[in-house]
C-alpha cells in the first residue's frame, strides 16, 4: 500500500451536479461528499499544501518542546441553530474536540469565533453560548480565546461558529490513514446517522413517530478507553459531514487499500432507518457527531470492541468490515450477499421524488 | 421495520432467485420500468443473483431524468429573471439544463427551494403573496395526484401567485413505444408498483396482449422484485403474456379511484417530449382549461427557451431508454459522457440507467 494515494478515485464523479462549472460556490460544495472533495482537491489543497496538512487527518500534530501538539479548526453553519439533542454551541465544541480525539490528543484549550447576523435575538445567542460553555466545561477544556463579528442582515444564517482547539498527544501515539494495513478490522463505535437525520427532520419539517435525537457528544473519554486497551490502534475518524461513507472513502484513499463493509453489520437505529426509507436517503451518508470509526489489527478487534462498549457512548459498537488489498475503493457486501461499490453522492443528501 | 424487513429477507430472496434460475430454460431479458426498482436492483445486487438466466434491462422510469432541457432552462429563467420562487423535489435540483442545474441557478441569485410536497409550495405562495411561487411538477402518475391536489387547493383559495410548471409524464405510452420498437429486446416488463397503485393495471392489458409480453406490477423491495421476476419468467416459460400483480399489498386492479379522479379533474393527457426520447404521443399531462391560470408557461412567457435546446449528437439515450442498447455499449459511455458531464437523460439523474451502470460498475465496462 502506498502512502501517496492515487487521487483519481476521489475525483471520480458519482452524480451529475457539475458544481465546479458554475464558477460559484454551491451548496454541494459544503456537504462533505463529491463536490466538497473536488473543492478541496482543486482549489484549497493546491493553495494550502504543506507537511502538516499532508497526512489528510482530522487535525495536525505539531512537534513542540516536551511533547507533540494536535491542532484543529472547524466551522459550524448548521440550520436550524437548535435541533433535537443539541444546538450549534455544543455541536461546535463536540465537533472540534472530537477531531482532536481522532488524533489521539487530549484537549488543552479551545478558541471560538462567532459570526452573528444583524437581527439575531440576543436570547438565542445566550442560549447557544450557554450550551457551548457547558459542553466545554463538561470536557474540562477552557475557551481560551475568541472573537465576535457581526454581518449585515441577510449576509449570514443567524449565527456561524468557528472553533479551533489544541491538545497534547501523549507518548508515542501515532494514528492516521497511512497506518491502516491489509487485514485490519473496521469498527464503528455506535449507531450512525442520528445527527444528520435529526437535523434533517426539523429542517424539512417532518414529524416522525419517534423523535430522532442527535448523537452529538464529546467522545474523548471513550477514545481514551480504546487507546488504553489497544495502543496499536491504527486510525480513528469521526463520521461527520458526508457520514460513514465519506470517511471510508477518505481512509481507503489514505491507506491505498480496499475497504469492504458488511451492510447488515453497520449499526443504524430503527427510527433513523425508517426516516431514511421515507426520504430515500442512505444512512451511510448521514452525519454523526458522537461516533467514531476505528481501524485496528484483526488480533486486537475483540479487545477494541470490548473497550468501546465499556463506555456509555460506545455501547452500540460493532465490527462493520475489513481492509483488503486492492485499489483504493469502498465495497459493500449487501444483505443479499452481493457486492457493490459504495460511491460518494454529490452534495447534501436530498429526498428523492419517489 | 414491519413491511420492509420481511421483504428484504436474504433467505427468501435467495430462494426466489434460485427458483428463477432453475425455471429459465434460456436467457430472458426483463425490463424493470421504474428508476426506484433500478435503484433497489443495483443497491442489493439482485442482477447478480439471477444472472445469467435473466438479463435485467433498465427502463425509462426516471421522471427526473426525462424532464426536457427546455423545462429546466425555463425553471431556471423563472427563478433568475422573473424573480419567482421555484420549488421542486430534491433530486430535481441536480439535473442539469443548458446552463447547469437549479443549484447553479440558486448560486447565481435565483430563489430555488426544495419542498417535500406540492402543497408545501402552495402554502408558501399563500404566506408570501404576492411574490410568485412556481412548483416544477415532475413525476409519473405517482406524484401527479399531489400536484393536482395543490392546484385544486390554490384555485379554491383564489391564490393568484401560485403556478405549476408541468412536466408530468405517463408510463404506459413509454412502455408501448418500447414494446412496439422493431428491435425490441424486452421479453417481459416489471411495471412500476407505485404507478399501478394510483392507476391500476387495466392500461397494461392491451399492451401485454398486443405485443405478447408479460407485464408484472412489481414492488420495490428485493423480495418484491425477485418475486416479480419469478412470475415473469414463469409466464415466459409457459408462453403466456398477461398482466399479473406481484404488489398485491398496494395495488388494486382499479388503482386509487379518488387519486385518479383528482388527476383527471386537473390534468389532461397530451403528447409530451421526453428528454432523450423525443415526443411521446400521449406521454404526459397538461393543465386543463379551468386550471390554465395556474400554468407557469402562460404566466411567464418571456422565460421560454429562446432557441430549442439540442441534445448532443453522440448521445444514444433513446436506444438506452428503450432497452435496445446496454449503457456500456454506447460509444460515449464513460468517455464523453459521465455522471459529472452527462450528455443524455439516462446519465443525468442517479436513477437513470447509464448513471446506474457507471456508478455501480464503473467505466471499465466501456468498450
The pLDDT tens digits of the residues spanning A99-135 come to 999 999 999 999 999 999 988 888 899 899 999 999 9
pLDDT class of B366 with cuts at 50, 70, 90: very low
Taking alpha carbons only, the member of A241, A37, A346 closest to residue B93 is A346
pLDDT at B337: 87
Pick from A164-173, B151-160, B184-193 the range whose average pLDDT is largest. B151-160
Q: CA A314, CA A301: separation in Å to the nearest integer?
A: 14
pLDDT at A349: 63
- In which order are the strands placed within the sheet that holds B85-88? B111-114, B85-88, B133-139, B162-168
pLDDT at B322: 76
Mean pLDDT, chain A, rounded, equals 86
Q: B74 near B297, Cβ under 8 Å?
A: yes
**Which single residue is written with the C-alpha cell 400483480?**
B245
Nearest chain B residue (CA) to A263: B44
* B257 contact partners, CB below 8 Å, separation of at least 6: none
Contact yes or no for B114 and A25 at CB 8 A: no
- The percent helix, strand, coil of chain A (3-state, each to 5) is 35, 25, 40
Name the residue among A17, A277, A340 with its Cβ closest to that of B94: A17
pLDDT at A182: 96
pLDDT in tens, A256-290: 999 999 999 999 999 999 888 887 788 999 999 99
pLDDT at B84: 96
Q: A129: which 3 cell numbers? A: 453560548
CB of A14 within 8 Å of a chain B CB? The answer is: yes
Contact yes or no for A347 and B94 at CB 8 A: yes
The torsion angle over the Cα atoms of residues A142, A144, A145 and A150, rounded to 10 degrees, is: 10
pLDDT class of A13 with cuts at 50, 70, 90: very low
pLDDT class of A3 with cuts at 50, 70, 90: very low
- In which order are the strands placed within the sheet that holds A159-169? A60-64, A67-76, A159-169, A106-117, A143-151
- pTM as predicted: 0.79
Name the residue among B45, B114, B347 with its Cβ closest to that of A338: B45
Pick from A50-59, A287-296, B51-60, B112-121 the range whose average pLDDT is largest. A287-296
Angle, vertex CA B191, rays to CA B235 and CA B145, nearest 5: 150
pLDDT at A350: 67
Name the residue among B44, B108, B143 with its Cβ closest to that of A353: B143
Q: CA A292, CA A188: separation in Å to the nearest integer?
A: 6
Task: Read off the DSSP letter of residue A345.
Answer: P
Alpha helix stretches (DSSP H) within B239-322: 257-266, 296-299, 317-321
Distance from CA of A90 to the nearest CA of B (A): 28
pLDDT at A189: 98
Rg (CA), chain B: 21
Using a CB-CB cut-off of 8 Å, the residues of chain A touching B92 are 353
pLDDT at B324: 79
pLDDT class of A41 with cuts at 50, 70, 90: confident
Mean pLDDT, chain B, rounded, equals 89
Q: B304 near B297, Cβ under 8 Å?
A: yes
pLDDT in tens, B169-191: 999 998 898 888 887 889 999 99
CB of A312 within 8 Å of a chain B CB? The answer is: no
Alpha helix stretches (DSSP H) within A256-328: 270-279, 301-309
Taking alpha carbons only, the member of A105, A99, A74, A106 closest to residue A88 is A74
* Residue A174 or A2, more confident: A174
Q: B294: which 3 cell numbers? A: 395556474
ipTM for the whole complex: 0.71
Nearest chain B residue (CA) to A15: B339
Contact yes or no for B116 and A205 at CB 8 A: yes
pLDDT at B231: 98
pLDDT at A304: 98
Using a CB-CB cut-off of 8 Å, the residues of chain B touching A272 are none
Name the residue among A15, A339, A347 with its Cβ closest to that of B45: A339
* A303 contact partners, CB below 8 Å, separation of at least 6: A229, A230
**Which single residue is written with the C-alpha cell 472547524?**
A74
Task: Give the 3-state secondary structure of residue A303.
Answer: helix
pLDDT at B306: 61
pLDDT in tens, A44-87: 777 767 777 777 777 778 777 777 999 999 999 988 899 999 99
- For B185-245, the DSSP string reads --SEEEEEHHHHHHH-SHHHHHHHHHHT--EEEE-SSHHHHHHHHHHHHHHHHHT---EEE
Phi–psi pair at B192, nearest 5 degrees:
-75, 120
Name the residue among A16, A335, A352 with its Cβ closest to that of B342: A16
* Residue B346 or B137, more confident: B137
pLDDT at A35: 76
Burial of A189 (0-12, 13-18, 19+ CB in 10 A): buried
Element housing B44 (H / E): helix B35-44
Contact yes or no for B138 and A353 at CB 8 A: yes
Beta bridge partners of B268: B286
pLDDT in tens, A226-237: 999 999 999 999
pLDDT in tens, A199-209: 988 876 666 76
Q: What is the average per-residue pLDDT within B184-211?
A: 94
Amino acid at each position: 500500500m502506498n502512502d501517496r494515494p492515487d487521487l483519481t478515485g476521489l475525483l471520480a464523479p458519482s452524480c451529475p451536479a457539475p458544481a465546479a462549472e458554475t464558477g460559484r460556490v454551491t451548496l454541494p460544495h459544503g456537504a462533505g461528499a463529491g463536490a466538497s472533495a473536488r473543492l478541496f482537491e482543486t482549489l484549497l489543497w493546491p493553495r494550502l499544501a504543506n507537511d502538516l496538512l499532508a497526512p489528510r487527518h482530522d487535525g495536525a500534530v505539531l512537534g513542540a518542546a516536551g511533547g507533540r501538539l494536535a491542532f484543529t479548526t472547524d466551522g459550524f453553519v448548521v440550520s436550524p441553530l437548535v435541533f433535537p439533542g443539541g444546538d450549534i454551541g455544543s455541536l461546535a465544541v463536540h465537533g472540534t474536540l472530537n477531531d482532536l480525539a481522532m488524533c489521539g490528543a487530549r484537549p488543552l484549550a479551545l478558541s471560538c469565533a462567532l459570526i452573528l447576523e444583524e437581527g439575531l435575538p440576543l436570547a438565542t445567542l445566550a442560549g447557544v453560548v450557554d450550551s457551548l460553555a457547558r459542553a466545554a466545561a463538561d470536557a474540562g477544556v477552557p475557551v481560551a480565546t475568541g472573537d465576535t463579528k457581526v454581518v449585515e442582515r441577510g449576509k449570514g444564517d443567524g449565527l456561524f461558529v468557528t472553533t479551533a482547539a489544541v491538545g497534547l498527544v501523549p507518548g508515542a501515539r501515532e494514528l492516521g490513514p497511512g497506518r491502516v494495513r491489509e487485514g485490519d478490522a473496521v469498527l464503528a463505535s455506535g449507531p450512525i446517522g442520528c445527527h444528520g437525520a435529526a437535523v434533517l427532520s426539523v429542517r424539512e419539517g417532518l414529524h416522525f413517530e419517534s423523535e430522532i435525537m442527535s448523537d452529538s457528544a464529546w467522545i474523548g473519554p471513550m477514545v481514551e478507553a480504546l487507546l488504553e486497551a489497544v495502543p496499536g490502534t491504527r486510525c480513528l475518524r469521526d463520521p461527520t459531514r458526508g457520514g460513514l461513507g465519506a470517511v471510508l472513502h477518505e481512509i481507503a484513499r489514505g491507506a491505498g487499500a480496499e475497504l469492504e463493509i458488511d451492510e447488515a453489520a453497520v449499526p443504524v437505529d430503527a427510527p433513523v432507518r425508517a426516516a431514511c426509507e421515507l426520504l430515500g436517503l442512505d444512512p451511510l451518508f448521514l452525519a454523526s457527531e458522537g461516533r467514531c470509526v476505528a481501524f485496528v489489527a484483526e488480533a486486537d478487534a475483540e479487545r477494541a470492541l470490548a473497550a468501546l462498549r465499556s463506555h456509555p457512548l460506545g455501547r452500540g459498537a460493532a465490527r462493520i468490515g475489513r481492509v483488503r488489498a486492492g485499489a483504493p475503493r469502498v465495497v459493500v457486501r449487501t444483505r443479499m450477499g452481493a457486492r457493490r461499490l459504495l460511491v460518494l453522492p454529490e452534495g447534501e443528501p436530498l429526498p428523492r421524488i419517489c | 421495520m414491519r413491511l420492509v424487513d420481511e421483504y428484504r429477507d436474504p433467505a427468501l430472496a435467495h430462494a426466489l432467485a434460485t427458483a428463477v434460475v432453475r425455471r429459465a430454460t434460456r436467457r430472458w431479458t426483463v425490463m424493470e420500468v421504474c428508476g426506484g426498482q433500478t435503484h433497489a436492483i443495483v443497491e442489493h445486487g439482485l442482477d447478480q443473483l439471477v444472472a445469467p438466466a435473466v438479463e435485467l434491462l433498465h427502463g425509462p422510469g426516471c421522471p427526473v431524468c426525462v424532464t426536457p432541457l427546455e423545462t429546466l432552462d425555463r425553471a431556471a429563467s423563472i427563478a433568475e429573471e422573473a424573480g419567482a420562487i421555484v420549488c421542486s423535489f430534491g433530486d430535481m435540483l441536480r439535473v442539469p439544463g443548458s446552463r447547469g442545474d437549479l443549484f447553479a441557478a440558486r448560486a447565481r441569485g435565483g430563489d430555488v427551494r426544495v419542498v417535500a410536497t406540492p402543497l408545501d409550495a402552495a402554502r408558501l405562495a399563500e404566506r408570501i403573496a404576492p411574490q410568485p411561487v412556481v412548483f416544477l411538477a415532475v413525476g409519473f402518475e405517482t406524484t401527479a395526484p399531489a400536484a393536482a391536489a395543490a392546484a385544486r387547493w390554490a384555485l379554491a383559495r383564489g391564490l393568484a401567485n401560485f403556478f405549476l410548471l408541468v412536466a408530468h409524464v405517463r408510463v404506459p405510452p413509454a412502455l408501448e413505444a418500447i414494446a412496439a420498437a422493431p428491435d425490441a429486446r424486452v421479453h417481459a416488463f416489471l411495471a412500476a408498483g407505485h404507478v399501478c397503485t394510483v392507476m391500476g393495471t387495466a392500461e397494461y392489458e392491451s399492451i401485454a396482449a398486443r405485443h405478447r409480453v408479460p407485464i408484472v406490477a412489481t414492488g420495490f423491495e428485493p423480495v418484491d422484485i425477485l418475486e416479480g421476476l419469478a412470475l415473469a419468467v414463469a409466464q415466459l416459460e409457459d408462453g403466456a403474456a398477461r398482466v399479473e400483480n406481484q404488489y398485491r399489498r398496494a395495488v388494486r386492479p382499479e388503482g386509487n379511484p379518488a387519486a385518479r379522479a383528482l388527476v383527471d379533474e386537473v390534468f389532461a393527457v397530451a403528447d409530451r417530449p421526453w428528454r432523450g426520447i423525443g415526443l411521446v404521443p400521449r406521454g404526459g399531462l397538461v393543465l386543463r382549461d379551468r386550471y390554465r391560470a395556474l400554468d407557469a408557461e402562460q404566466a411567464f412567457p418571456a422565460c421560454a427557451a429562446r432557441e430549442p435546446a439540442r441534445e448532443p449528437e453522440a448521445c444514444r439515450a433513446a436506444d438506452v431508454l428503450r432497452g435496445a442498447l446496454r449503457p456500456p455499449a454506447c460509444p460515449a459511455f464513460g468517455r464523453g459522457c459521465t455522471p459529472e458531464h452527462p450528455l443524455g437523460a439516462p446519465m443525468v439523474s442517479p436513477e437513470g440507467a447509464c448513471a446506474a451502470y457507471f456508478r455501480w460498475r464503473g467505466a471499465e465496462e466501456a468498450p
